[in-house]
């Protein structure tokens, strides 16, 4: 995600992001919005860089549509359109497509919709990639881009530090919530967006994870944790991560009152900059 459409800015971001992931041995799966590949060969090359770096790609729909707001047949067609673009790309690197992630983590307003889509996914060889830890990085990313593009070094540094401070609090909360819910720490799946903010923050993010005794593992490895076999039958308007979904199944409330709030100034800046319908 970025405020800039400049190909050079995107290339620099991707290069720095992948270098940081490799430097800290952080395995990642890159979920691709198919529409981005319509930007021409340069965009396809960016996706291919992930594959060359040893990072698998997943399907994140063609248009970043919400299943809560899109008829299921249209949603399936949207995901299939992205699939048709991604399969030749990954096949050229002798890879396969295995994972799908819902935009906004919105999995359908009804169980019928959800099951119809997930049955189609399974028929195409996909599994849903859950998320069990997030840090609202998208909220900080656009204000950070604005500062970087304006060459406001001091402003960018302030936003980055606020982001890291918030991430430290969010990671600690999720660790505690996992123990509260399961009696142990599960293997987490951490949602991060491919942004300049994260590219410039990976050294510090890696330090935060190490401080919380979190060891990097692949998405496939995380899925071996028995927690991911807990039934999830949620259907409704909320785009919840999976700890919240499991809490419904298990009948155990999480202490959301203690969850950290992003700084008000960051929230306001994101609202000003985010023009997504």
Per domain, the residue ranges of the chain are: 30-128, 135-273
Res 276 pLDDT > 90:
no
Q: Could you tell me which residues come within 8 angstroms of residue 42 by beta carbon, excluding any fewer than 6 positions away? A: 7, 10, 11
List the beta strands (DSSP E) in 89-160: 99-100, 127-128, 133-134
Q: Which two tokens stand for residue 22?
A: 């490799």
Q: Contact 103/215 with Cβ under 8 angstroms?
A: no
Model confidence over 181-238: pLDDT tens digits? 999 999 999 999 999 999 999 999 999 999 999 999 999 999 999 999 999 999 999 9
Mean pLDDT of 143-156: 98
Which CATH number applies to 30-128: 3.40.50.720, 3.40.190.10, 3.40.50.920, 3.20.20.370?
A: 3.20.20.370
Q: Contact 232/249 with Cβ under 8 angstroms?
A: yes
- For 173, 268, 271, the CA distances from 181, given in Å and listed in that order, are 12, 32, 33
- For 45, 52, 63, 209, the CA distances from 40, given in Å and listed in that order, are 9, 19, 16, 36
Res 96 pLDDT > 80:
yes
Mean pLDDT of 265-273: 97
Instruction: Please provide the average confidence, as pLDDT, over all residues in the chain.
Output: 96
Residue 3: per-residue pLDDT: 86
H or E element at residue 10: helix 7-23
Res 266 pLDDT > 80:
yes
Q: Which pTM does this prediction carry?
A: 0.95
d(CA 44, CA 32): 10
Q: Which residue is listed with tokens 């998405």?
A: 219
Residue 275: per-residue pLDDT: 86
Q: Contact 135/160 with Cβ under 8 angstroms?
A: no
Residue 40: per-residue pLDDT: 82
Mean pLDDT of 75-100: 97
- For 191, 205, 257, 272, the CA distances from 268, given in Å and listed in that order, are 22, 24, 21, 6
List the beta strands (DSSP E) in 84-216: 99-100, 127-128, 133-134, 190-191
Residue 6: per-residue pLDDT: 86
Residue 5: per-residue pLDDT: 85
Res 134 pLDDT > 80:
yes
């Amino acid at each position: 995600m970025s405020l800039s459409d400049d190909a050079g800015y995107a290339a620099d971001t991707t290069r720095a992001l992948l270098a940081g992931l490799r430097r800290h041995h952080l395995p990642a799966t890159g979920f691709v919005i198919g529409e981005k590949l319509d930007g021409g060969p340069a965009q396809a090359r960016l996706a291919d860089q992930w594959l060359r770096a040893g990072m698998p790609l997943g399907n994140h729909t063609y248009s970043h549509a919400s299943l809560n707001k899109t008829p299921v047949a249209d949603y399936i067609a949207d995901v299939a359109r992205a699939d048709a673009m991604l399969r030749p790309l990954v096949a050229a690197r002798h890879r396969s497509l295995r994972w799908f992630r819902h935009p906004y983590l919105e999995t359908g307003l009804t169980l019928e919709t959800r099951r119809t889509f997930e049955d189609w996914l399974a028929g195409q060889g996909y599994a849903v990639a859950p998320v069990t830890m997030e840090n609202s990085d998208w909220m900080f990313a656009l204000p950070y881009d604005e500062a970087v593009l304006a060459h406001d070094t001091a402003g960018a540094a302030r936003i980055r530090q606020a982001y890291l401070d918030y991430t430290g609090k969010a990671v600690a909360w999720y660790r505690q919530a996992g123990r509260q819910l399961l009696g142990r720490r599960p293997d987490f799946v951490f949602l991060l967006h491919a942004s300049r903010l994260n590219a410039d923050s990976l050294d510090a993010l890696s330090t935060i994870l190490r401080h919380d005794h979190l060891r990097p593992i692949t998405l496939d490895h995380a899925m071996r944790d028995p927690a991911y076999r807990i039934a999830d039958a949620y259907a409704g308007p909320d785009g919840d991560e999976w700890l919240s979904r499991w809490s419904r199944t298990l009948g155990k409330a999480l202490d959301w009152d203690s969850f950290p709030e992003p700084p008000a100034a960051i929230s306001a800046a994101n609202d000003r900059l985010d023009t997504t319908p």
